[in-house]
């Protein structure tokens, strides 16, 4: 469970001027939810995702993950939480180009200092439909394939929480739809998914939508209607 209370984030610009990226955000996301975050550019979506993902800390306010107040955690404490509980999927895939798909999927085990489980990495690649691409270099894969490698990598430590910041932003609509079908399956397995998108069609896969405006949640609504329309069509 994600519990956020009166979260604020202020950045310092290069010239010292403060930028209030998050003004006052409060919300609760229960285990097993599938939520999208939408809003205009620069409204604080990635800032919020980075805090939820323990990549960054808030300037003020409280963030509890599974009941644990992680707001003031050190870099080291946060990296441990990320390794154990959170999978990330980014717009730009963030893979190592001159490395094979399998090696990329294995990276999280390396970061954990564990023995690499090659069979698991290959099974995850098969699961995202890339069994026959396992030994390809990342530079030899299409954008949609690269994003599927990134999803396999995000699953390597079997995290209950998946965070995706514009996962379909660099893909055409067919490749984007494949990614969304995969995320829907992973949600069906009980994982919590929080996804940032600009795309209404992508947002329609989720059950709940948070609309961010000027560093605040402007709207928080259920998506049952949109979802029903999509399933029927
Ligand atoms: N490291 C930083 N230093 C200073 N200002 C920052 C930093 N990161 C983000 N900002 C500012 O904080 C605000 C929110 O940025 P954020 O990246 O969260 O927006 P976003 O909603 O994800 O936008 P987009 O849709 O374009 O990705 C913006 O005004 C941005 O310029
Ligand atoms: Mg962003």
Q: Considering only CA atoms, which of 18, 146, 133, 49 is closest in space to residue 93?
A: 146
97-136 residue pLDDT tens: 999 999 999 998 888 888 889 999 999 999 999 999 999 9
134-164 residue pLDDT tens: 999 999 999 999 999 999 999 999 999 999 9
The burial class, CB within 10 Å (0-12 / 13-18 / 19+), for 231 is exposed
Mutate to test the pocket of ligand 1, among 47, 194, 199 (most ligand atoms within 8 A of CB): 47
Atom of ligand 1 nearest to the CA of 198: 25
CATH number given to 2-232: 3.40.50.300
Backbone dihedral angles phi then psi of residue 87, each to the nearest 5 degrees: -110, 140
What is the whole-number distance in angstroms between the Cα of residue 46 and the centre of ligand 2?
4
- Domain range summary for the chain, segments of one domain joined by +: 2-232
Atom of ligand 1 nearest to the CA of 22: 14
């Amino acid at each position: 469970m994600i519990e956020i209370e009166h979260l604020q984030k202020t950045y310092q610009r290069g010239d010292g001027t403060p930028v209030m990226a998050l003004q006052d955000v409060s919300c609760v996301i229960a285990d097993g939810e599938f939520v999208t975050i939408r809003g205009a550019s620069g409204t604080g979506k990635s800032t919020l995702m980075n805090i939820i993902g323990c990549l960054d800390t808030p300037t003020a306010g409280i963030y509890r993950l599974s009941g644990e107040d992680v707001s003031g955690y050190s870099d080291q404490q946060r990296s441990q939480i990320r390794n154990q509980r959170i999978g990330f999927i980014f717009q730009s895939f963030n893979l190592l180009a001159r490395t094979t798909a399998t090696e990329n999927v294995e990276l999280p085990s390396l970061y954990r200092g564990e023995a690499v489980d090659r069979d698991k990495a290959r099974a995850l690649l098969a699961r995202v439909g890339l069994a026959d691409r396992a030994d390809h270099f990342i530079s030899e894969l299409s954008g949609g394939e690269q994003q599927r490698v990134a999803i396999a990598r995000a699953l390597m430590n079997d995290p209950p929480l998946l965070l995706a910041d514009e996962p379909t932003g660099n893909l055409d609509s067919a490749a984007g739809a494949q990614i969304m079908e995969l995320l829907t399956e992973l949600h069906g397995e009980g994982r919590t998914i929080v996804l940032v998108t600009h795309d209404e069609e992508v947002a329609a896969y989720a059950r709940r939508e948070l609309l961010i405006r000027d560093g605040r949640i402007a709207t928080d609504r259920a998506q049952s209607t949109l979802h029903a329309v999509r399933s029927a069509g």
